[in-house]
Amino acid sequence: MAELVIRNLVKTYGDHRVVDTINLKAETAELVALLGPSGCGKTTLLRSIAGFVPISSGSIEIDGRDVSKLAPNKRNTGMVFQNYALFPHMSVAENVAFGLAMRKVPKSEIEKRVAHALDLVSLTDYAERRPRALSGGQQQRVAVARALVVNPDVFLLDEPLSNLDAKLRMSVGMQLRALQQKLGLTTVFVTHDQKEALMMADRLVIMRAGRVVQEGTAEHLYQEPATRFVADFLGHSNVLTGTPVEGGFRTDGGIKLPSASTDGPRVLAVRPENLLLGGETEGVETVLDATVETVTYLGSITEASLLLPGGERVVAHHQNRTGRELHLAVGDTIRVGWRTNATQLLIDDMSEAA
């Protein structure tokens, strides 16, 4: 196992900087999730670590050794491809044995290690089958076993759960995480599904247009997003556009709100669960009269979309504890409020791009 360090990595296709000056570190046994919208360069970054994409500049170090000029077969990474890329003309056991055979491991040891790897992913009974005769989940496990059996320094996964149905995704993801922790694998995991990332990763790296926008633990990113993009990408956030003014923030709709002061273009963000309704607004800094536009009862929470006096729309989540149920009807006027410390003034990195 080893540490992965990426410095100032750039990959350009023509004039297009698909990966733009990325710095990234994965500690030994750490699982880092690369998260970002489609086309932001996640796969390109992962494939450049594996050596399939020749990089334009920067360096990739595995265990202190610069591998960025090495051919893919000299890097000792273990990759699980999005479509699994199993060898269709070989049995499951032959697939798993392939990497060991390439490393000239003696036959008897290959047998032992293949058996062990298949056991790890509970596929012992399927050793002689062809990949085609396996379910999607089983194929995924073969791909995992095949990548792991060679003891890779870095384990690379490109959306390994995206070809599984929603029900399976959760349990396979948990198993994968358990395996990664058990074996202490340094892992980079690509996904555009935030649930997957939250469920599996030690650390999340949010990417956008080839750059890292922010990185940190799931909690850190959720509670202290650096920009509007991050707040919006991880969970939902109510965003009020406007300008910072003396002692607060004036929304474009003309409501003045108290908030920490900053300058420069900002938006005010409040998470739906931090919007307080009705009696809960007692004693909070901001209280407004809003009109209820839609109400959706979701069991543990009720989701309401509200129209603020300034014309903005926000979404509130009310926790339905016994005795605190909320009875809302469309068209009602209700007090909505929030604490200043539950709001964030975020850099607006969405309007310029749009």
Partner 1 sequence: MALSATDLKRGGAASALLLPATLLVVVALVAPMLTLLRYSFNAYDPIMLMRETFTLENYARFFAEPYYHEVILTTLAVAFGASFGALLLGFPLAYFLARTKSRYKSLLVVLVVFPLLVGNVVRAAGWIALFGSQGILNVTLIKLGLIESPLEIMYTDWAVIIGTLSVVMPFMVLSLQSVIENVDFSVVDAALNLGASRFQAFRLVFLPLVMPGVTAGFALIFILCMNAYATPYLLGGPGYKMMAPALYEQISVISNWPFGSALAFILMATTVLATLVVTRVVRGKTV
Site residues (vs Mg ion, CB under 5 A): 43
The CB-of-187 to ligand ATP minimum distance in angstroms stands at 17
Backbone phi and psi for residue 95, each to the nearest 5 degrees, phi listed first = -60, -50
Residue with Cβ nearer partner 1 (89 or 324): 89
Q: Does 300 bind ligand ATP (CB under 6 A)?
A: no
Residue with Cβ nearer ligand ATP (157 or 270): 157
Could you tell me the CA-to-CA distances from 17 to 12, 23, 213, 217 in Å, in that order? Answer: 4, 15, 15, 27
Q: Are 268 and 342 in contact (CB under 8 A)?
A: no
Q: Does 43 bind ligand ATP (CB under 6 A)?
A: yes
CA dihedral angle for residue 147, residue 150, residue 151, residue 154, rounded to 10 degrees: -50
Among 2, 30, 35, 44, the residue binding ligand ATP under the rule CB under 6 A is 44
The CB-of-155 to Mg ion minimum distance in angstroms stands at 17
* Residue 38 partner contact from Mg ion, ligand ATP, partner 1, none using kind-dependent CB cut-offs of 5 to 8 Å: ligand ATP
The CB-of-39 to ligand ATP minimum distance in angstroms stands at 4
The count of other CB atoms within 10 Å of the CB of residue 165 is 9
- Helices 107-120 and 136-148: crossing angle in degrees, nearest 10, is 130
The CB-of-150 to partner 1 minimum distance in angstroms stands at 6
Residue ranges in contact with partner 1 by CB under 8 A: 50-52, 71-73, 76-79, 81, 83, 85-89, 98-99, 102-103, 146-147, 150
Residue with Cβ nearer ligand ATP (38 or 108): 38
Spell out the residues 6+ positions from residue 325 whose beta carbon is closer than 8 angstroms to its own: none
Q: Does 48 bind ligand ATP (CB under 6 A)?
A: no
Residue with Cβ nearer partner 1 (2 or 150): 150
Residue with Cβ nearer Mg ion (83 or 135): 83
Q: Does 208 bind ligand ATP (CB under 6 A)?
A: no
Residue with Cβ nearer ligand ATP (40 or 86): 40
Which residues partner with 276 through β-bridges? 337
Residue with Cβ nearer ligand ATP (193 or 202): 193
The CB-of-82 to ligand ATP minimum distance in angstroms stands at 8
Q: Does 52 bind ligand ATP (CB under 6 A)?
A: no
Residue with Cβ nearer Mg ion (35 or 86): 35
Which residues partner with 10 through β-bridges? 57
* Residue nearest ligand ATP by beta-carbon distance: 43
- Which tokens in the block code for residue 66? 């610069």
Could you tell me the CA-to-CA distances from 39 to 68, 164, 187, 209 in Å, in that order? Answer: 23, 21, 21, 7
Contact letters for ligand ATP, residues 10-39 (x by CB under 6 A): ---x----x-----------------x-xx
List of residues contacting ligand ATP (CB under 6 A): 13, 18, 36, 38-44, 192
